[in-house]
């Protein structure tokens, strides 16, 4: 044990570290979401450009593929958001 530390100080710092353990993953998720959000927003706001891009790649039925892709991206994103929110509530309610 280093000089000047007591068992009580170790317990307090350990409790503080336990309470802040969620902070790093939360900041990582927030940063990644912030970086990717403009891309998703641009795809949803400009469907004609997505259709033209799919058409330039010679993808059959580019309009239908664009619509199904947008639906998948938005529904998967929403379900991941809701499941993460629910998991967070469960972890706060029933700590291990």
Q: How far apart are CA 62 and CA 26, in angstroms?
A: 37
| 53 within a domain of the structure (yes/no) | yes
| 21 within a domain of the structure (yes/no) | no
Looking at the 3D structure of the chain, how many domains does it have?
1
Q: Which pLDDT does position 38 carry in this prediction? A: 74
Radius of gyration of the chain (CA): 23
| 66 within a domain of the structure (yes/no) | yes
pLDDT in tens, the chain (96 residues): 555 556 666 777 777 777 777 777 778 877 877 777 777 677 677 888 888 888 899 988 988 888 887 777 777 777 887 887 788 778 777 765
Distances (CA, A) of 88 to 19, 35, 85: 14, 22, 5
| 15 within a domain of the structure (yes/no) | no
| 74 within a domain of the structure (yes/no) | yes
Q: Which domain holds residue 58?
A: 26-93
| 31 within a domain of the structure (yes/no) | yes
| 11 within a domain of the structure (yes/no) | no
């Amino acid at each position: 044990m280093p000089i000047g530390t007591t068992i009580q100080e170790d317990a307090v710092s350990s409790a503080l570290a336990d309470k802040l353990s969620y902070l790093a993953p939360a900041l990582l998720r927030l940063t990644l979401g912030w970086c990717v959000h403009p891309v998703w927003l641009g795809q949803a706001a400009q469907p004609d450009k997505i259709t033209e891009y799919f058409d330039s790649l010679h993808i059959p039925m580019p309009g239908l593929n664009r619509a199904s892709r947008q639906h998948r991206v938005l529904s998967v994103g929403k379900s991941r958001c809701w499941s993460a929110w629910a998991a967070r509530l469960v972890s706060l309610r029933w700590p291990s």
